[in-house]
Amino acid sequence: MAQTYKVEKGGALSWPRNCVVCGSSEVVAEKAYGSSVDNVALPYGVMLSISEYTLSFPYPLCPAHKRFWLATRIALYSLVLVIAFLLAFLFETLPDHTSVLWVVAAAVALVFYVLAVTLPPVRVYRIRDDYYMLRIRSDGYARDFERANPGKIRNRSV
Ligand SMILES: [Zn+2]
């Protein structure tokens, strides 16, 4: 399970000093990073405006889980790159680019990419002018996080 929060921009959040994953009190800082695009207007095929938002802040993980998520992220992104490289390599030798092989390989690469983006213990997304969304995968940590930030966050989990 996971908890989702709507966070007003401006105030700093308090992160209880425990590993978000296992609760260990020996922690180092890990970085949550998110970016999103808003206001993409395409009337009559003309791009009018794009606003891009990025946001990053530290949150606590124990050294073991920091290493684990770094390795997981590298492995997933590497798999995406390997598949992209293989497809590029096969571009000339297998000219039928609509074959099942291409579709399956692209779908697998997409799954690895989505996992790399969504699996981390803390995730930032839907960043806007005045708020952003925050997802904490551990319910136990999320409870402590809610207690540490009264009035600053709104739980959006159903
Ligand atoms: Zn941990």
What pLDDT does residue 47 have? 56
CA of 25 to the centre of ligand 1 (A): 9
CA of 3 to the centre of ligand 1 (A): 18
CA of 60 to the centre of ligand 1 (A): 9
CA of 91 to the centre of ligand 1 (A): 43
CA of 77 to the centre of ligand 1 (A): 22
Tokens 């808003």 identify what position? 38
Tokens 């209880």 identify what position? 16
Q: Which residue range forms the structural domain that includes residue 59?
A: 3-155
**Amino acid at site 123:** R
CA 27 to chain centre: 21
Contact 141, 23 (CB under 8 A): yes
Please indicate whether residue 45 or residue 65 has the higher confidence score (pLDDT).
65
- Domain count of the chain? 1
CA of 68 to the centre of ligand 1 (A): 9
The per-residue pLDDT for range 121-154, each reduced to its tens digit, is 999 999 988 999 999 999 999 999 999 999 889 9
Q: Which of 48-62, 101-115, 135-149 has the lowest mean pLDDT?
A: 48-62
Residue 52 CA neighbour count, 13 Å, CB half? 3
CA of 64 to the centre of ligand 1 (A): 6
Tokens 């989505």 identify what position? 114
* pTM score: 0.78
Q: What is the mean pLDDT of residues 33-42?
A: 72
Which residues make beta-bridge pairs with 124? 134
